[in-house]
Amino acid sequence: MFSIRRLLGQRDSASVAKNRLQLVLSKDRIQISDAELKSMKEELYRVISHYFTVTPDNLEIEVLTRDGRAALSVNTPVEFPAR
Amino acid sequence: MSQSIVITSGKGGVGKTTTTANLSTALANTGSSVVAVDADIGLRNLDLLMGLENRIVFNLVDVVKGRCTARQAMIKDKRSPNLFLLPTSQVDDKNAVSPEEMGGLVEELRKGFDYIIIDCPAGIEQGFRNAIAGADRAVVVTTPEVSAVRDADRIIGMLQHHDVPSQLIVNRLSMKMVESGEMMSQEDVVDILAVDLLGVIPEDSEVVVSGNQGVPVVLDTSSEAGAAYSRICRRILGESVPFPDFAEKRGFLTRLFRR
Ligand SMILES: Nc1ncnc2c1ncn2[C@@H]1O[C@H](COP(=O)(O)OP(=O)(O)OP(=O)(O)O)[C@@H](O)[C@H]1O
Ligand SMILES: [Mg+2]
């Protein structure tokens, strides 16, 4: 059986679930409070903006786990300053 | 060498007690000696699913507090001579026992049994710490729903922290819903949790029927859930059993539309 919703171009709820989980777990796994996460973001933003032009809202922080090891990943689009 | 396995989940009501009753029964039927330990103090259920509720005299808390021996508290299963239940107390709460006491109890049970299967309460508090205290490894049960998977992730992290390796059971999978894109598949769940998959149990009304009767569904291998539990039992024994995983039943159109 296939979903008529998918034929109509709507996203199936299973992939919505998967995407939402991946996002929420990347935050859960950091295991720091929402307030700490916010202040870490602010500090990182301050440091990075010494070197690049960045927007605080675009700063993404995730913890990726693979083979039982975790890695902190900080992702942001940057603009090179005009020199 | 005896093995202790805790059946845990984080979120409540996802199938821990059902899994404990079925895996204990299946393992005993292969000839291993098995004790199923109900560690859900205050919410006694495992006795009901095994059909042994009328035989309880002493319980786990009595054993830990030295009011009786483990042998006195254990109940022999009606069908399998190698299967015993150590029931829990219905009147105490999770704090009646400490992780050290539970660890000691499991050590004692190792002397008499090949497998010690521990039914863990929901949650991440003392009851969870008690249940994992003596465990060599963990089976984490989840359903393919966002809340259950999120809680399973937390539990897997906590188990890792305690150096307890974990494997996953995805319970109540409805292939029909997976096919229509309305339920995450076992691959999706494994992908998210990055954990070894031990088995998949389909949604099956026979689980409810078997609960009504106090006869674990694994004794009826013509049921889908029963067959799935016996495959999991063989995997625990070290056999490599392929995952039929209901996936090959997927139709051509589904495969076409599934990215
Ligand atoms: N594969 C299945 N198909 C249909 N129903 C199921 C299945 N697995 C479990 N159930 C039903 O789900 C309910 C909860 O199961 P169970 O008591 O084993 O969960 P639990 O994780 O031990 O709950 P708790 O956290 O309260 O201890 C039961 O009513 C059971 O019949
Ligand atoms: Mg239970």
* pLDDT tens string B120-155: 999 999 999 999 999 999 999 999 999 999 999 999
Q: CA–CA distance from B80 to each of B28, B35, B76 (Å)?
A: 7, 11, 8
For residue A7, being part of any structural domain is answered with no
Q: CA–CA distance from A9 to each of A13, A18, B155 (Å)?
A: 12, 18, 36
For residue A25, being part of any structural domain is answered with no
Are B149 and B193 in contact by the 8 Å Cβ rule? The answer is yes
- To test the pocket of ligand 1, the residue of B207, B218, B224, B231 to mutate (highest count of ligand atoms within 8 Å of its CB) is B207
For residue A65, being part of any structural domain is answered with yes
Mean pLDDT computed over B224-249: 87
pLDDT band at residue A7 using 50, 70 and 90 as cut-offs: low
List of residues 6+ apart from B72 with CB closer than 8 A: B57, B58
For residue A12, being part of any structural domain is answered with no
Q: CA–CA distance from A48 to each of A42, A61, A81, B47 (Å)?
A: 10, 13, 12, 59
What's the rounded Cα separation, in Å, for the pair B77 and B245?
31
Consecutive H or E run containing B86: strand B83-86
Q: Which ligand is nearest to the CA of B200?
A: 1
Write the residue with the smallest CA distance to atom 9 of ligand 1: B15
Q: CA–CA distance from A11 to each of A15, A18, B58, B240 (Å)?
A: 7, 12, 54, 36
The CATH fold assigned to B3-258 is Rossmann fold (3.40.50)
Mean pLDDT computed over B222-232: 97
For residue A17, being part of any structural domain is answered with no
Q: What is the mean pLDDT of chain A?
A: 81
For residue A36, being part of any structural domain is answered with yes
Is the pLDDT at B5 greater than 50? The verdict is yes
Q: Which of A27-41, A55-69, B17-31 has the lowest mean pLDDT?
A: A55-69
Vertex A24: Cα angle to A22 and A28 (nearest 5):
115
**Chain B residue with minimal CA distance to A25?**
B150
For residue A19, being part of any structural domain is answered with no
Q: Which ligand is nearest to the CA of B38?
A: 2
Is the pLDDT at B107 greater than 90? The verdict is yes
How many A from CA of B238 to the centre of ligand 2? 26
Are B62 and B143 in contact by the 8 Å Cβ rule? The answer is no
Write the residue with the smallest CA distance to atom 26 of ligand 1: B13
Domain that holds residue A37: 32-78
pLDDT digits (tens, 9 = 90+) for B83-93: 999 999 999 99
Q: Which ligand is nearest to the CA of B211?
A: 1
Is the pLDDT at B160 greater than 80? The verdict is yes
Name the interface residues of B facing A (CB cutoff 8 Å): 145-146, 149-150, 153-154, 157, 160, 176-185, 188, 191-192, 194, 251, 253-254, 256-257, 259
Determine, for residues B180 and A12 on separate chains, whether the beta-carbon distance falls below 8 Å: yes
Are B87 and B44 in contact by the 8 Å Cβ rule? The answer is yes
Q: What share of chain A has pLDDT > 70, as a percent?
A: 78
Is the pLDDT at A10 greater than 80? The verdict is no
Q: How many domains does chain A have?
A: 1
**Chain B residue with minimal CA distance to A28?**
B154
Is the pLDDT at A8 greater than 80? The verdict is no
pLDDT band at residue B246 using 50, 70 and 90 as cut-offs: low
pLDDT band at residue A79 using 50, 70 and 90 as cut-offs: confident
What's the rounded Cα separation, in Å, for the pair B101 and B124?
18
CA distance B142 to chain A (A): 14
| pLDDT the model gives residue B259 | 40
Long-range contacts of A43-49 (CB under 8 A, 24+ apart): A44/A74, A48/A76, A48/A78
CB of A6 within 8 Å of a chain B CB? The answer is yes
Q: Number of helices and strands (H, E) in chain B?
A: 12, 8
Determine, for residues A1 and B257 on separate chains, whether the beta-carbon distance falls below 8 Å: no
Q: Which of A16-20, A66-70, B48-52, B212-216 has the lowest mean pLDDT?
A: A66-70
Determine, for residues A14 and B194 on separate chains, whether the beta-carbon distance falls below 8 Å: no
Q: Which of B43-47, B57-61, B171-175, B245-249 has the lowest mean pLDDT?
A: B245-249
